[in-house]
Structure 1
Amino acid sequence: MTEAEKRQLDEQGYIIVPEFMDDHLLRELRVQVEALFEQEGENAGHEFRQEPFARRLANLVDKGEIFEQVVADSRLLVYLSHVLNGSFKLSSLNARSTNPYAPEAQPLHVDMGVLPDEIGPRVFNSVWLLDDFTEENGATRLIPGSHLWGRLPQDVLKDPTAPHPQEILVLAPAGSVAIYNAHVWHGGTANQTGRHRRALHAFYVRRDLPQQQWQKKLLSAETQARVSPMTRYLLALDDPMNDQLCAEGSGRSGFLK
């Protein structure tokens, strides 16, 4: 990380890294994601969450080896370690594809609805752009610096779906990755075009929080046997405290709603 990147993450809460994915990885991720949408059909995303104006996929670490490259990318882990002070694990890897002409924007929100505590930040997200993000196609919006306000948008905004005077759009070409402290207020915007707007969301939490998707419970025995020691650590597969946190938080389904 450069000093400028550290400063922007600390003060503004986000950075956008262009050309993070090479052409091969971008192409393969697009192919795999579209194949999964086709394969899962109307059930896509049902394990965790579905939306009326977007396609979703969940539990992606278990749905192709290529997704292991995403969650364990060494460059991403540098940014992640900076935000979460060296204590982190994967919470979930999902895909979200805003439908053509989707009329509704997501409300501004903070991931998992949590605020920083006396230790510091607790959540981190990265949006992997599989398509260009433009003003018209549902790009993510962020409120720079809002991770420092110590407030949740739904507690102070009359309408979290309305435009915010301080918002910026993540405008970047496919292959970029938007990295942010997930206490920053953010949400997707409406897609006014005739094409899907696709992205992966690699979401991490501090190790004292439950995973949004309990990886040990959801991943197949084959996947768990295949992953590297570093990836096992990121997935918290051998972490008794994580098992306890997830058992209390998500119960039998393995998904924290």
Structure 2
Amino acid sequence: MAMESDRKFEEVLEELGASERSLTEEERMSLDERGFVVFHDVLDDGTLCALREKYEELMRKEGASAGMEVHQEQGTRRLSDLVNKGEVFDAVYLHPKVLAAARQIIGRPFQLSSLNARDAIPGEGLQALHADWGRRRADEPYHVCNSIWLIDDFTEANGATRLVPGTHKTGDAPADVLADPSSPHPDEVKLIAPAGAVCVFNAHVWHGGTLNRTDRTRRALHAYYVAREWPQQLNQAEYIRKRTYDRLSPAARYILNV
């Protein structure tokens, strides 16, 4: 059964354009050793414009309810369940290089866990360092992969995400070993890159948002994947709308597990 499942999964990835050829050796090494990789110029200007328009349209429409399907966070604007909220988001969670990177990290069949958005408002956004999974034993595989899609430039001043390279290998939770996970870490690297870039990271890596010290929000999308034996952050089968299901290919439905 497992072999049949693995074969189906590989067929789906091939159909979506994700294969071992999708990543360079350098990109694979970065994922394995540092725990993250940055792909530049993934989104062109037209797609960025469409995503920004849809992003703000949803914020106006949903108001105080924005993000409630998964999570709301003080000091940020959030959106959730984006699979159902615009065809423009399909290119995000189904992108071949991102799927190939998720396969490199998780190493077995996975599914989309959630597709959300987050932006820190001015003067807010600082997060304690955290991982998107609890403690992990040395003999456990990696279970989760996340990606940050830069809808705006990420700068030193506007709350760029910080990551601590190599911490996916420890299995430790930051709160258990750091005196203050909210403080700067001596080894942290900030994700400084222009809009249109995508950072894919092993979600066991310690990471967190920094303080937005500008007068504008800093928008990003998060396509988050989890091994298929674990529950999704948002149950895609429960939330899927008929019009969404009908326009998706069988391969896309497999990634959603619907």
Task: Calculate the TM-score normalised by the size of structure 2.
Answer: 0.88
Cα-to-partner distance string for 1:64-89 (whole Å, 9 max, x where unaligned): 11112211112211111111114211
Q: Deviations over 1:161-197 (max 9, x none)?
A: 1111111100000000011111000000000000000
Residue 21 (str. 1) matches residue 43 (str. 2): yes
Do 1:116 and 1:183's aligned partners in 2 also have CA atoms closer than 8 Å? no
Q: Distance in 2 between matches of 1:195 and 1:152?
A: 32
Q: Render the CA deviation track for 1:141-161: whole Å, top value 9, x for unaligned.
A: 000000001101122122211
- Counterpart selection for 1:89 from 111, 115, 138: 111
Partner of 1:98: 120
CA deviations 1:86-135 (Å, max 9, x no partner) are 42110000000110122x51111111435366351110011000000011
1:10, distance to aligned residue in structure 2 (A): 0.4
Please give the root-mean-square deviation of Cα atoms over the aligned residues, in Å.
1.3
1:76 is aligned to 98
- Alpha carbons 1:48, 1:58 under 8 Å: kept: yes
In the other structure, the counterpart of 1:255 is none
The one of 142, 149, 154 aligned to 2:170: 149
Give 5+ residue unaligned stretches, structure 1: 238-257
User: 1:116, 1:122 within 8 Å by CA — same for their partners in 2?
Assistant: no
Q: Is 1:215 the equivalent of 2:240?
A: no
* Matching of residues 91-240 of structure 1 within 5 Å: 91-102=113-124, 105-113=126-134, 115=136, 118-237=139-258
Q: Which amino acid aligns with 2:102?
A: L
Q: Which residues of 2 match residues 236-247 of structure 1 at below 5 A?
A: 236-237=257-258
Q: Give, in whole Å, the separation in 2 of the partners of 1:127 and 1:2.
A: 20
**Is the contact between residue 115 and residue 122 of structure 1 (CA under 8 Å) also seen in structure 2?**
no
Report if the CA contact (8 A) 1:105-1:161 is conserved: yes
Aligned residues: 236
CA distance in 1, matches of 2:201, 2:92: 16
The question of whether the paired residues in 1 share the 8 Å contact of 2:105 and 2:202 is answered with yes
TM-score, normalisation: structure 1: 0.89
**1:153–1:160 Cα contact (<8 Å) kept:** yes
Identity %: 48
Inter-partner Cα distance in structure 2 for 1:118 and 1:205:
18
Shift of 1:47: 2.2
For 1:250, the equivalent position in structure 2 comes to none
Q: Name the structure 1 match of 2:75.
A: 53
Greater CA drift, 93-102 or 71-80: 71-80
Rounded Cα–Cα distance in structure 1 between residues aligned with 2:150 and 2:47:
12
Contact 2:135 2:171 in 1 (8 A): no
